[in-house]
Chain A
Amino acid sequence: MGFVESFKQNFIEEDRWHYLVNGLGTTLLITLFAVLIGMVLGFIIAIIRFTHDKTGKMVIPNIICKVYLTVIRGTPVVVQLLIIYFVIFASVPISKIFVAIIAFGINSGAYVAEIVRSGIASIDDGQFEAGRSLGLNYRQTMTSIILPQAFKNVLPALANECIVLLKETSVSGYIAVQDLTKGGDIIRSQTYSAFMPLISVAIIYLVMVVVLTHFVTKLERRLRQSDRR
């Protein structure tokens, strides 16, 4: 079978391309909201951990954060996804996509937290002292002096985390979410041809990652303005 026939069979016949387009939409939806949850969660945890290390306050929240980090980073994301779907939300009629968002968001939060914490720790103590010596309180110093700089420093690592997350959502099929990967796999199971659908899926992921990387590089360049000499 030639390339053209194969293309027709896998994507045109019975509108099979819908599987990929809808799957892509689902993948992007899950990634976008999971990234948002992960960022918010990660920043909160990083700030709690840093505040604990710096001031000795927030003992209980810090312990909770540590347990969370250990559990999430110590278990595979697929297992977490399965547990959240089949154990935690077992008796709740709930959208599978929503479950995937929650699972990947919680998972990503743990990695974001450690990235952000290392970013905060990389800021010179003098920055903190300068803020406090001007009469700014801890929170004001964090939000207007420390975090913007930390964010800039860890932006490449955070972007990398987004890219990892985008690719990780490909296991959503485990709870029967029809994401991009699952979409390609459904086509494969219908047409019994593996090459065309799976390579297409791979190319779509690749393009997304390349585009994302491009935007991050641009953003980094803009943030670096203040380093110009």
Chain B
Amino acid sequence: MIDVKGLKKTFGENEVLKGIDEHINKGEKVVVIGPSGSGKSTFLRCLNLMEIPTEGTILFEGSDITRADDRELNLMRRKMGMVFQHFNLFPHLTIKKNITLAPVKLGLMTQDEADKKALDLLERVGLPDKADSYPAMLSGGQKQRIAIARSLAMNPDVMLFDEPTSALDPEMVGEVLELMKQLAEDGMTMVVVTHEMGFAREVASRVMFMADGVIMEQNTPKEFFENPQNPRLREFLSKVL
């Protein structure tokens, strides 16, 4: 589904990604972990071209998005949901409007269809009574669940999660991870950058360790956590587990 070849990204003098080759299949749940500054968020953000790669190609469902024009890129982004660390809900719109804005603006649904879909999604994320609230009235965990619902409203083929629980108070992490787990069980293709090792162990079909702009090791969660090979990974795991 996503095919990454020779991906490099530099910010000024700083080479953040030093050549990444990776393939993500439909239905996979790939969890990316690694120390901060390892390039894992940049890698994720390159997948939907939030960051423009300096070098390399990214094939999404067969077409090279690094060579797409704006219009093609927008079409592809509809198929790739993204969930941000800081939620990035639209504070001037109600929750329902947050969810329906894109499908309606893009002409995929009428407002009525989108409203109905929004209510279904709110039911699914466990916040059916928040349709007419504004983002500022919600807790962090609730905001992130709405952000996930907003992405799902576009019926994406893949969901990208950029440290979705890092900005949350500890007691709210669980509700978001639970929702992500449900999504995974429903068969969504997911790429998740996170520090939640429990989630990686439980939900991932594959765990990836990134450091210094490269993927140093990847494996099934069981092997990854029980039998790490790379010394950097061992050191990292010893610190976080």
Residues of A within 8 A of B (CB): 124, 126-127, 129-138, 140, 144-145, 148-149, 152, 225-229
- The answer to whether B75 and A135 touch across the interface, beta carbons within 8 angstroms, is yes
Asked whether any CB of chain A lies closer than 8 Å to the CB of B150, the reply is: yes
Asked whether any CB of chain A lies closer than 8 Å to the CB of B48, the reply is: yes
CB distance from A43 to the nearest CB of B (A): 17
Asked whether any CB of chain A lies closer than 8 Å to the CB of B80, the reply is: yes
- The answer to whether B90 and A225 touch across the interface, beta carbons within 8 angstroms, is no
CB distance from A179 to the nearest CB of B (A): 38
Instruction: Please report the C-alpha to C-alpha distance between residue A152 and residue B93 in the assembled complex, in whole angstroms.
Output: 12
Which residues of B (118-151) have their CB < 8 Å from a CB of A? 134-137, 147, 150-151
Instruction: Please report the C-alpha to C-alpha distance between residue A127 and residue B91 in the assembled complex, in whole angstroms.
Output: 9
Residues of A within 8 A of B134 (CB): 225-228
Residues of A within 8 A of B81 (CB): 133
CB distance from A169 to the nearest CB of B (A): 33
- The answer to whether A126 and B91 touch across the interface, beta carbons within 8 angstroms, is no
Asked whether any CB of chain A lies closer than 8 Å to the CB of B10, the reply is: no
**Complex interface bits, B52-92 against A, C-beta within 8 A gives 1, otherwise 0:** 00000000000000000011001101101110101011111
- The answer to whether B92 and A229 touch across the interface, beta carbons within 8 angstroms, is no
Given contacts A127-B88, A133-B80, A140-B105, whether A226 and B93 have CB atoms under 8 Å apart is yes
Asked whether any CB of chain A lies closer than 8 Å to the CB of B101, the reply is: yes
- The answer to whether A148 and B92 touch across the interface, beta carbons within 8 angstroms, is yes
CB distance from B3 to the nearest CB of A (A): 20
> Could you list 13 A-B pairs, sorted by A, with CB under 8 Å?
A126-B86, A126-B88, A129-B82, A131-B102, A133-B77, A133-B80, A134-B78, A135-B75, A135-B78, A225-B134, A226-B92, A226-B93, A228-B134
Residues of B within 8 A of A (CB): 48, 50, 70-71, 74-75, 77-78, 80-82, 84, 86, 88-94, 101-102, 105-106, 134-137, 147, 150-151, 154
- The answer to whether B105 and A227 touch across the interface, beta carbons within 8 angstroms, is no
Residues of A within 8 A of B90 (CB): 127, 130, 145, 149
CB distance from B113 to the nearest CB of A (A): 17
Residues of B within 8 A of A138 (CB): 70
CB distance from A220 to the nearest CB of B (A): 13
Instruction: Please report the C-alpha to C-alpha distance between residue A27 and residue B136 in the assembled complex, in whole angstroms.
Output: 42
Task: Return the 5 tightest CB-CB contacts between A and B, nearest first.
Answer: A135-B78, A130-B88, A134-B102, A126-B88, A133-B82
CB distance from A229 to the nearest CB of B (A): 6
Residues of A within 8 A of B101 (CB): 134, 136, 144-145
Instruction: Please report the C-alpha to C-alpha distance between residue A131 and residue B94 in the assembled complex, in whole angstroms.
Output: 15
- The answer to whether B70 and A227 touch across the interface, beta carbons within 8 angstroms, is no
Residues of B within 8 A of A227 (CB): 91, 134, 136
Given contacts A135-B102, A148-B92, whether A129 and B84 have CB atoms under 8 Å apart is yes
Closest chain A residue to B102, Cβ basis: A134
- The answer to whether A134 and B137 touch across the interface, beta carbons within 8 angstroms, is no
Contact partner of B77 (CB less than 8 A), chosen from A126, A135, A144, A229, is: A135
Instruction: Please report the C-alpha to C-alpha distance between residue A145 and residue B101 in the assembled complex, in whole angstroms.
Output: 9
CB distance from B59 to the nearest CB of A (A): 18
Residues of A within 8 A of B136 (CB): 226-229
CB distance from A224 to the nearest CB of B (A): 10
Instruction: Please report the C-alpha to C-alpha distance between residue A192 and residue B136 in the assembled complex, in whole angstroms.
Output: 61
Closest chain B residue to A128, Cβ basis: B88
Contact partner of B70 (CB less than 8 A), chosen from A131, A133, A137, is: A137
Closest chain A residue to B70, Cβ basis: A137
Instruction: Please report the C-alpha to C-alpha distance between residue A15 and residue B67 in the assembled complex, in whole angstroms.
Output: 75
Closest chain A residue to B90, Cβ basis: A145
CB distance from B60 to the nearest CB of A (A): 13
Contact partner of A137 (CB less than 8 A), chosen from B48, B74, B92, is: B74
Closest chain A residue to B133, Cβ basis: A228
- The answer to whether A130 and B84 touch across the interface, beta carbons within 8 angstroms, is yes
**18 additional contacts, CB 8 Å, given A135-B78, A136-B101?**
A129-B82, A129-B88, A130-B82, A131-B102, A133-B80, A133-B81, A133-B82, A133-B151, A134-B150, A135-B74, A135-B77, A135-B106, A137-B70, A137-B71, A138-B70, A149-B90, A226-B135, A227-B91
